[in-house]
């Protein structure tokens, strides 16, 4: 399982007038350690769960964990797009300053990991959108969670929001290509590419369901052996 952390690139280029104010930058610098801590908290929880599943069930449900922290410029721009005043105190209106992406092998793994994560007593679910069972019109699929996780710093202990996206490897591959088409393809290519991408999304989901069935049959066959191994390890 790979874990990566990326600082999000600024959406504000040179010469742009809509730059964050000094007060906004100061407030961002003040709260940045909280959101950075929230990223580490969320990522470590998923890493621990992946280790547990590996030890007790004999497979790693999580293939990769990625995290990113929005820049001050990106936050400033998003407040404007969302219709909020670009004021320091409105940073708290954004629930995706800290973002974690959990890439799993199978659809079933997504729901298992999400359920166990949300059952933790200090994780609070704020909002959930299931784009796997209810995909977007363009074919996009992922499970989106907005949660609050605990963060304790030297000067404060509080709960901080984190956006979590859970998807399979093929869903992640599809989303990466869709993003590339959206931002790099010309207008003429976009139309045909988006039509083809929608078809690809449907085809991929069908293949994933078939592969999930095969995987489920194998896991069911090996379940008794896994239980015996767990019991033996606990006795030792």
What local confidence, expressed as pLDDT, does residue 57 receive?
86
Q: Is the pLDDT at 236 greater than 80, yes or no?
A: no
Distances in Å between the Cα of 147 and the Cα atoms of 78, 90, 190 are 19, 18, 34
Bridge partners (DSSP) of residue 116 are none
Is residue 37 predicted with pLDDT exceeding 60? Answer: yes
List, for residues 152-199, the tens digit of each pLDDT value: 999 889 999 999 999 999 999 999 999 999 888 777 788 889 999 999
Instruction: Give the pLDDT of residue 10.
Output: 36
Q: Which among 64, 105, 113 has a CA at the least distance from the CA of 218?
A: 105
Q: Can you name the residues that pair with 94 across neighbouring β-strands?
A: none
In this prediction, residue 211 carries a pLDDT of 94
- pLDDT confidence of 233, banded at 50, 70, 90? very low
Question: Does 14 score more than 70 pLDDT?
Answer: no
Q: How confident is the model at residue 15 (pLDDT cuts 50, 70, 90)?
A: very low
Q: What is the DSSP string of the chain?
A: -EEEEEEPPPS--TT-S-PPPHHHHHHHHHHHHHHHHHHHHHHHHHHHHHHHHHHHHSS--EEEEEEEE--HHHHHHHHHHTT----GGGGGG-S-SEEEEEEESSHHHHHHHHHHHHTSTT-EEEEEEETTTS--TT----EEEEEEEEEE-SS-EEEEEEEEEEEEHHHHHHHHHHHHHHHHS-HHHHHHHHHHHHHHHHHHHHHHHHHHHHHHHHHHHHHHHHHHHHHHHHH-
pLDDT in tens, 48-105: 999 999 999 888 999 999 999 999 999 999 999 999 999 999 999 999 999 999 999 9
Residue 44 has pLDDT above 50, yes or no: yes
With pLDDT > 70 as the criterion, what percentage of the chain qualifies?
89
Q: Which domains does the chain have, with CATH numbers?
A: 2-171 (3.30.460.10)
**What value does the mean pLDDT of the chain take?**
89
227: confidence class by pLDDT, cuts 50, 70, 90: low
* Beta strand pairing call for 62-69 and 2-7: parallel
Query: What does the DSSP 8-state code read for residue 92?
Result: G
User: Taking Cα atoms as reference points, which of 73, 63, 72, 194 lies closest to residue 138?
Assistant: 194
CB atoms within 10 A of CB 141: 25
Q: What is the pTM of this model?
A: 0.85
The C-alpha angle with vertex 91 and arms to 183 and 129, in degrees rounded to 5, equals 60
């Amino acid at each position: 399982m790979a874990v990566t952390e990326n600082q999000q690139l600024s959406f504000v280029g040179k010469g742009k007038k809509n730059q964050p104010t000094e007060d906004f930058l100061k407030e961002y610098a003040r709260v940045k350690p909280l959101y950075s801590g929230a990223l580490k908290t969320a990522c470590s929880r998923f890493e621990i769960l992946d280790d547990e599943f590996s030890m007790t069930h004999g497979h790693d449900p999580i293939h990769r964990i990625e995290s990113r922290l929005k820049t001050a410029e990106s936050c400033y721009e998003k407040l404007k797009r969302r219709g909020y005043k670009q004021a320091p105190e409105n940073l708290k209106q954004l629930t995706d300053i800290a973002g974690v992406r959990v890439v799993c092998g199978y659809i079933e793994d997504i729901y298992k990991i999400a359920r166990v994560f949300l059952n933790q007593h200090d994780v609070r679910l704020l909002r959930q959108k299931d784009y796997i069972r209810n995909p977007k019109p363009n074919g996009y699929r992922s499970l989106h969670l907005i949660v609050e996780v605990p963060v304790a710093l030297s000067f404060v202990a509080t709960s901080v929001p984190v956006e979590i996206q859970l998807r399979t490897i093929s869903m992640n591959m599809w989303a990466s290509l869709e993003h590339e088409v959206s931002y790099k393809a010309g207008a003429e290519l976009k139309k045909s590419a988006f039509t083809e991408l929608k078809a690809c999304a449907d085809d991929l989901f069908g293949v994933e369901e078939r592969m999930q069935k095969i995987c489920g049959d194998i896991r069911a066959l090996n379940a008794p052996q896994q239980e015996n191994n767990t019991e033996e390890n606990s006795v030792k």
